[in-house]
Amino acid sequence: MKQVFSVLSVASVAFFTLFLSTTNVSCKKGDTGPKGDTGVANAIYSPWLDVTLTSQGDTVFYKDIDAPKLTKDVLDKGEIKVYFNWGTPAQPDVTPLPYFDGGYLIQPSFSVGKISIFSNVPASTNASTKQYQYRYILIQGSVPARSAVNLNDYKTVKEYYNIPD
């Protein structure tokens, strides 16, 4: 009985191998699945801007920056970040606004089409060195969710949204 089982096993394996090698076995590609969630939000960014703040008294400085793509929809559903470069384009030292260190205050305010900068110091761009420039980033909202990026870290935001220097 043991020999019959061995012969049948070998014959079955041989037949199965021969069958598989002579038949066309293929897999059918499955149906396309549903469209996934929206990916990275659209980010609109300004170049580094030269901004001259105007004195509104001894300790109030102010400037409106035109931001034509800052819409009501962005105000309602998106995110707006303004960054200040303490350094120069060659040696940047970028910090998010608002900024307050106990002495200096630089504060943005937002409305449709413009970003207003208020400060208690004359934080205007130096025309010759380009020190103290400003940049804004508008992130259009599409799907309510937690942000996958720390918006207070300029380097991370720049990398995440592929924003050039």
Residue 33 has pLDDT above 80, yes or no: no
pLDDT greater at residue 82 or residue 18: 82
Q: The domain 43-160: what is its CATH number?
A: 2.60.40
User: What does the alpha-carbon distance between residue 105 and residue 26 come to, in Å, rounded to a whole number?
Assistant: 68
Residue 24 has pLDDT above 50, yes or no: yes
pLDDT reported for residue 39: 45
Beta bridge partners of 82: 97, 136
C-alpha count within 13 angstroms, C-beta hemisphere, residue 45 = 20
**pLDDT tens, residue by residue, 34-71:** 665 544 457 899 999 999 999 988 889 999 999 999 99
Beta strands in the chain (DSSP E): 43-45, 54-55, 61-66, 79-85, 94-97, 99-100, 105-111, 114-119, 133-139
pLDDT reported for residue 32: 72
Query: Among 140, 123, 121, 136, which residue's Cα sits nearest to residue 48?
Result: 136
Which region among 31-35, 84-88, 106-110 has the lowest average model confidence (pLDDT)? 31-35
- In sequence order, the 6+-apart residues with CB closer than 8 A to the CB of 81 are 96, 97, 136, 137, 139, 151, 157
Which region among 64-78, 83-97, 134-148 has the lowest average model confidence (pLDDT)? 134-148
User: What does the alpha-carbon distance between residue 106 and residue 119 come to, in Å, rounded to a whole number?
Assistant: 4
Predicted TM-score (pTM) of this structure = 0.67
Q: Running DSSP on this structure, what letter comes out for residue 98?
A: S
pLDDT reported for residue 98: 96
Domain ranges of the chain: 43-160
User: What does the alpha-carbon distance between residue 58 and residue 92 come to, in Å, rounded to a whole number?
Assistant: 29
